[in-house]
Chains A and B, each alone.
Chain A
């Protein structure tokens, strides 16, 4: 509702000392755990950081529908199929909550779509991996949604009100995603030798990409310190990654599946699991557009957008005609 009103933001030149005072007042509000709302004054860098983060997050939800959508027609039972459709619809809904939150900062939805479809915008690297077997649907729910939950729970306390509220809504829905994924893995792990092998293969392929979902190590993370000061972020990438590893390893042990890391061990002194080195070259390659499915994902989004053009045009024509008819009726 704030899109139009914000057009003038940041246009009038402000004297330096006044700007510094405003920034200090803003930081004091953040430090006092106050929520920032759309029409409140905020530093331009805070606005831009949030636009970037929320829109990337929204794009991830939208592109994230594709790997799992790939298995809807081939789900093994009607129950699994209904569940998978519901999960994919939720991800679409998450994208909508987030686009809606981003728009309160003054960017239009059409602009965000254009950024996604042109390849200018980033989205989570994980969705550029293929779903080769049914077990991948289980591994995604368990690991990818599991990692997403770890990342998202602290954002429920983000300083920006609309983002925090969208995250509360999303987090309520994520738990089912993870549980249905684990249930698939459990069923396969307790099934035939071929099913166990399929589950193990999925874990082998999804483990490291899931670990990379938390982003680059703290030492190389460009935006982290300022985001922490602004309380957009509450924990560092490495802290969240460690939490995820610590809760997930015992779950894999329960499934009696092997984590594909020969260096994985329990560190008694630190009371954490220690892992082997992460292949950050792979992460960078996927981010740069050279993952296994980057091109395919964007092509799928563009095709969907173009195939839907006639629907959008028809709906707009219908709305215009209804409006004209309404005007005629009230004039008569």
Chain B
């Protein structure tokens, strides 16, 4: 094996695909590419061989900031005791219609 095969990677891009017009873009995976343009082309080849998409977003993985699972409790706890944000919290007599 030549020294050349001790490879280095192109930057990693996360791939998001809109499957049909009217739907949101959804994360599907990632590709390596030299630049954003190539990332879109690689994403096309890897993730849309059967017309799975009408639009592609790519974002450098290094630019994505994610919440920490260890902090999930602290982060989402404030919503836990606010059941009054749901319509089912309110008791309305059966006779009342259209509410």
Give the interface of A toward B (CB within 8 A). Answer: 1-5, 37, 39-41, 86, 89-90, 93, 96-97, 100-101, 103, 108-110, 113-114, 117-118, 165-166, 169, 173, 302, 305-306, 309, 312, 315-316, 318-319, 322-323
Contacts and interface: CB of A to CB of B under 8 A. Distances in A.
Contact of A1 (B1, B7, B12, B34): B12
A89 B38 contact: no
Contact of B68 (A4, A39, A113): A39
A96 B14 contact: no
Given A3-B61, A97-B29, A315-B38, A110 B49 contact: no
11 contacts: A1-B30, A1-B64, A41-B70, A89-B49, A93-B45, A96-B29, A96-B46, A100-B31, A302-B1, A306-B4, A319-B38
B70 A306 contact: no
Give the size category of B's interface with A.
Answer: 20 to 34
Contacts of A37: 69
B51 interface: no
A132 B4 CA distance: 33
Nearest to B52: A169
Nearest to A323: B35
B4 A1 contact: no
A96 B31 contact: yes
Given A39-B69, A90-B49, A103-B12, A305 B5 contact: yes
B8 A110 contact: yes
Contacts of B62: 4
Contact of A319 (B5, B8, B34, B61): B34
A316 B34 contact: yes
B10 to A, nearest CB: 7
B38 A306 contact: no
Nearest to A40: B69
A97 B47 CA distance: 9
A89 B45 CA distance: 9
Contact of A100 (B29, B34, B50, B69): B29
Nearest to A89: B49
Nearest to A86: B49
Contacts of B69: 37, 39-41
B66 interface: yes
Nearest to B14: A1
A5 B64 CA distance: 11
Most chain A CB within a 10 A radius of its CB, from B14, B35, B45: B35
B5 A302 contact: yes
Contacts of B64: 1
Contacts of B46: 93, 96-97
